Structure 1
Amino acid sequence: MAKRKQTVASTGVAGLDQILRGGLPTSNLYMLQGAPGSGKTTAALQFLKAGVEIGESGIYISLSQTAAELEAIAASHGWTLDGIRVEELSASDAINGAADQTIFQTGELRLDETRKAIENAIEEHKPKRLVYDSLLEIRLITGDSPKFRRELLGFKRFLAQRNVVALLLDTQTSGGERNGEEVEGIAHGVIRFDKSLEEYGAVRRRVEVSKMRGVPIADGYHDMAIREGQGVVVFPRIIPGAAKEDMKPHLIKSGVAELDEMFGGGQEAGTVTLVIGQSGTGKSTMASLYATAALKRGESVALFLFEERLETFFRRSEGLGMDLRQFHEDGQLVISDFNPNEISPGEFAQIVQEVVTREKIRVVVIDSFTGYLNSLPHREKAVRDIQSLLKYLARSGVLTMLIVAQHGLLGQNVGIDVDVSFLGDTVLLLRIAEHEGRLRRNIAVVKKRHGPHDLDVRELMIQSSGISVVSYNPLPET
């Protein structure tokens, strides 16, 4: 017997739909949990808006926010509430009334009145989608967990009989116990929004689908953000196996014969090269060299800059005879200039993946990887995340070059406190050293997993006429 395909309702958040393998299975009740300000209301409005776009009626039952507040949230993103019915109920009166009484029946009466008002609104408007905001108010009215659980079970049956997809918002207090643990088993699925404020930089946001019956979800945390005009945006973790394999073996040349000779003829597609060196050794110049050679071959290149400004990059390259502006204007060279303090590892990985897939990129340069990692509060996690991205790029047949700086002008320590050497299939080491009375740039290939490579240390010449690699004169025989 053929397996029946389950119908789903889009959440209105593309990345979250991807995690859920399409969306929320229909005719079920779901919980969206998170601290105040984590994005629950915005995501709920996106859920209802997605329904309106396909002709499904939606209702927002608000016990905690006024219709004016909801309109203000929508307006902040350039949205309207057209097609969404807002039912504003006064649950706060029930809470305040119960707090001033010692007779239990008063709270019971308020609960009945709130339930009837909600059910009447559903019966009258017959929505396909419903948002219930929030469970905190109902929890306070009921006063104890068993009664609260029974109330939710009854509401779940009521909605199931009417084939409504319901999203229940549940406010989680920071530092305390999770309020919804006693009722999570009732919901068909549970989604959690998490936010944290580091000592410096923007708020970091994450989403976790902690439960989803019958769906092989991409579990664990995924980065997210709230963007003006977009609302909640989710960045699913990269899955290397999702890449379309392009493992045609071919060598990628630099355009400098002596340098290609050091790599045994060139660098392999589908590999990662770490370019490590002190300040001024020519790390970014090497990246520009490979980018220029690929562009002249007609291949597309992507550069992701975290330290150097775009204009600085162009001027430095032009000073060495590499004019890349026209390639950029023609779209063959894609350059993204980031403020590292305002981008999460998940968002960065998604941007790279989308650019590589859309533009059929063959060479990727991340300059500098050190600056990117040093801006993040949890560098070990960022290294794991970028390892997945690098595997994705490798399976796509892309040569990736990571620029890694060393401490100080003449220092020998890598400028990050986590080990990144395992990321590279190839390691190109650049140094400045005194030789015969002057400072010289040295270049050496210290690691290459695929094929032979030269172990000699050579001199890297960076001049306005171009780049060259020369061998040191052999020592005289004694």
Structure 2
Amino acid sequence: MAERKKQPVVSSGIAGLDEILRGGLPASNFYIVQGDPGAGKTTAALQFLRAGVAAGERCIYVSLSQTASELQAIASSHGWTLEGIRVEELSASDTLSGAADQSIFQTSDLRLDETRKAIERAIDEHKPHRLVYDSLLEIRLITGDTPRFRRELIGFKAFLARRGIVAVLLDTQTSGGDHNGEEIEGIAHGVIRLDKSLEDYGAIRRRIEVSKMRGVPFADGYHDMAIREGEGIVVFPRIVPGSPTEVAKPQLIKSGVEALDEMFGGGQESGTITLVIGQSGTGKSTMSSLYATAALQRGESVALFLFEERLETFFRRSEGLGMDLRQFYKDGQLIIYDFSPNEISPGEFGQIVQQVVSRNNTRVVVIDSFTGYLNSLPHREKAVLDIQSLLKHLARADVLTMLIVAQHGLLGQNVGIDVDVSFLGDTVLLLRMAEHEGKLRRNITVVKKRHGPHDLDVRELFIASSGVSVVAYNPLPET
């Protein structure tokens, strides 16, 4: 059987979008980028053309809706220039040359013909490899009816195809249907939608969707994105865990406290996820510091993602227990991210974790707390599905992942989030408080471990300046 020839592609100028498209946009084709005003269409178009300039291609930006100075302002806001990009600033009224003197009000046919000729002259003069057409809204207004608009678009597509131009047409249109049944998506080789939504609290959430791309096995569905100063549009492709190439033999990861390791049958296993559950003050974060310190002392890399505790608070708490982690942090062996609530989307968080693990050969990942992470997101149920893919990716990378999960109230009867996360854990470590003779006692139990034997006994946890210890639990005396 003959090997299928790979279709040549060009970069969209957005690395994450190229990843979604399995390499880039198929060359010499016609694409539509849709979205609300402010969704990022113009920024995406400039990135597309800048990628062409970087590849030594001739590029042209045909604008019927924005002036050259407005485009320059957008570029300057990111520290870019328009060098190498030819800007053709046209207007449906300005294109009427001598005919403009004949009548104050010109017919739509005359305006459409003159606009088309002006655009075609600019293309034939500059012979671009890449073109951006901004925007279809103006042509839609000139044509006035759907059949004429479709014919105009089909004719323009044929004109570009004969010249081998890769074109991106901007269209102010949201997902959810065409304008008055135009069905223009059927004309284009590909359609990319930029979506933005304002939540009840916090920043705008931005997403991108490739709704159509002929001949490309692209990653469909929504992917998180952001618009960053100096970077433009940044796309965070959803994590799709691949099949493991080989099954690695799990390694036992120890805490440095022998009695605790015995509860796990000798230690926790690499490539698994551990939920550390308990109410406030039971020692959940201390458990994560314990495993982090032991891994660092073995020479392994550790990544810690904080969503509630400040970085300085983390260091001081660890130092109060005899675990000095500052130097590991300064040396880069301990990687710590301190996030503010509502600061990050699930897609961006997943990409950061993925990159940290791959670049630093990280062996232990801690999310403290998972409750704080989920509570900072507007759609927690969907976030759980996103993080499930991330956790599967980390498991296949042979990483031990620890998720700190808080419980409500002093007795901790309910998990502090309104979605079920218990299915995420291969191992569940439960920390609780018990009162005895006017004092609180910390209890620790391994209630679940999918792989291998574990201790079901309830033991007592002691946290002191000298360190952490686990001892057999002495029950309350009978009365």
- Please give the TM-score of this superposition, normalised by the length of structure 1: 0.95
Q: Distance in 2 between matches of 1:445 and 1:176?
A: 52
Counterpart residue number, 2:457: 456
Q: Distance in 2 between matches of 1:472 and 1:354?
A: 42
Matches for 1:58-457 after TM superposition, within 5 Å: 58-91=59-92, 106-172=107-173, 178=179, 181-241=182-242, 247-457=248-458
- Offset, 1:172: 1.4
Counterpart residue number, 1:25: 26
Q: Distance in 1 between matches of 2:243 and 2:307?
A: 27
Report the residue type matching 1:138 in the other structure: I
- Offset, 1:5: 2.0
- Offset, 1:410: 3.6
Counterpart residue number, 1:39: 40
| CA distance 1:178–1:312, change in 2 (3 Å) | farther
- Offset, 1:474: 6.0
Identity score, percent: 81
Residue-by-residue CA offset, 1:158-183 (whole Å, 9 max, x unaligned): 00011100000000169986568521
Q: Report if the CA contact (8 A) 1:35-1:173 is conserved.
A: yes
Q: Report if the CA contact (8 A) 2:39-2:194 is conserved.
A: yes
Report the residue type matching 2:308 in the other structure: E
Q: Report if the CA contact (8 A) 1:9-1:26 is conserved.
A: yes
Gaps of 5+ in 2: none
SS of structure 2 residue aligned to 1:422: helix
Q: Distance in 1 between matches of 2:279 and 2:478?
A: 33
- Please give the TM-score of this superposition, normalised by the length of structure 2: 0.95
Q: Distance in 2 between matches of 1:338 and 1:319?
A: 23
- Point out the more displaced range, 14-23 or 330-339: 330-339
CA RMSD, 1 decimal: 2.1
Q: Report if the CA contact (8 A) 2:195-2:208 is conserved.
A: yes
Report the residue type matching 1:170 in the other structure: D
Report the residue type matching 1:194 in the other structure: D
Q: Report if the CA contact (8 A) 1:246-1:396 is conserved.
A: no
Q: Distance in 1 between matches of 2:174 and 2:449?
A: 51
Q: Distance in 1 between matches of 2:94 and 2:55?
A: 36
Q: Distance in 2 between matches of 1:460 and 1:190?
A: 58
Q: Distance in 2 between matches of 1:300 and 1:130?
A: 46
Q: Distance in 1 between matches of 2:463 and 2:17?
A: 48
Q: Distance in 2 between matches of 1:343 and 1:91?
A: 42
Q: Report if the CA contact (8 A) 2:371-2:416 is conserved.
A: yes
Q: Distance in 2 between matches of 1:223 and 1:245?
A: 31
SS of structure 1 residue aligned to 2:6: coil
SS of structure 1 residue aligned to 2:352: helix
Q: Distance in 1 between matches of 2:378 and 2:419?
A: 12
Report the residue type matching 2:60 in the other structure: I
